[in-house]
Amino acid sequence: MAEANRAAKKGKTFSVKTMPGFTTVAMICFIVLYAPIVTLVIYSFNAGNSIAFWEGFSIRWYFIALENTVVQEAALRSLIIATAAAAIASTVATMAAIATTRTRPFRGRTAIYLMINQPLMVPEIVTAVALLIFFASIKVATGYTGLGYLIIAHAAFCVPFAYLPIRARLESMDSTLEAAAADLYATPWQAFRRITLPLLAPGIIAGAMLAFVISLDDVIITEFVKSAGQDTLPTYMLGQLRRAITPEVNAISTALLVLTLVLLSVFFVLTRDRRANPD
């Protein structure tokens, strides 16, 4: 019996939760992370013009933001850019994920993986400056200054964010279904359209939503690449913070926060491991 107890103790896995002070440190981290966000949300309902002094409950700043034509234009522009960038990024990421997971091992696959994930490793300011120089030369040569540059820049930056969940979904899929389709004389395109794509759809949707959120919230790349009159919602808010700060900025931030939380919740539902979480 004693030997069995010793064996059980030896086989017991280490858990960080058992360390002294873990709960205290975790609570401090949560407070530091979320207290500013909670404060922002609360003061978005402030009746007064101050962002520091509570003057009563009101939702007037939400109506002011909704009626602001500049906010409307910036919000529409942000949605257009984020939607287009997410569609492009998820398409490119899907093709890249299939090429790196559904093929035989080949020389240079690790290098391709590193190149795809390069925007995650390089500081965003470096990517923004590089895109600024690259697009500036194109603007001079072509004279075009539309939203295409922002869409391409956001799509390039969002590819790795879409690639990771799509690749994870592919790696968890059973490849024997595709092999069975090939045995039944299905062409590679038919096998992809009828087997791979339907099974991969949750991963593609999750990757597109993650890319959409990243594009919607981006400031640095947008600030460097955009032309005059092409403010998105985040860059408009940055400009307002440099001028007079009112709870209107809090209201816009809260609306973006709610949208982001909804999309991330759907992303979590689509990417969770149902085998590990059957409930």
What are the extents of the domains in the chain?
Answer: 69-271
pLDDT value at residue 240: 79
The fold for domain 69-271 equals MetI-like fold (1.10.3720)
pLDDT value at residue 152: 93
Choice among 69-78, 99-108, 253-262 with the minimum mean pLDDT: 99-108
Q: Exposure string (b/e) for 240-278, b if CB count within 10 Å is 16 or more?
A: beeeeebbbbbbbbbbbeeeeeebeeebeebbeeeeeee
**Mean pLDDT over each residue of the chain, to the nearest integer:** 82
How far is it, in rounded angstroms, from Cα 183 to Cα 196?
A: 15
Neighbours of 155 (CB within 10 A): 23
> Mean per-residue pLDDT for 1-30?
68
> Mean per-residue pLDDT for 65-73?
88
- 16 or 66: whose pLDDT is higher? 66
How far is it, in rounded angstroms, from Cα 139 to Cα 189?
A: 39
Question: What digits encode the pLDDT tens for the residues 199-253?
Answer: 888 889 888 988 998 998 889 999 999 888 888 988 888 887 777 677 888 888 8
Do residues 92 and 152 lie in contact, with contact meaning Cβ atoms separated by under 8 Å? no
Placement of tokens 């035989």 in the chain: 104
Q: What percent of the chain has pLDDT over 70?
A: 90
Residue 57: strand pairing partners: 46
Question: What digits encode the pLDDT tens for the residues 93-140?
Answer: 999 888 888 777 777 777 887 888 888 888 889 989 999 999 998 988
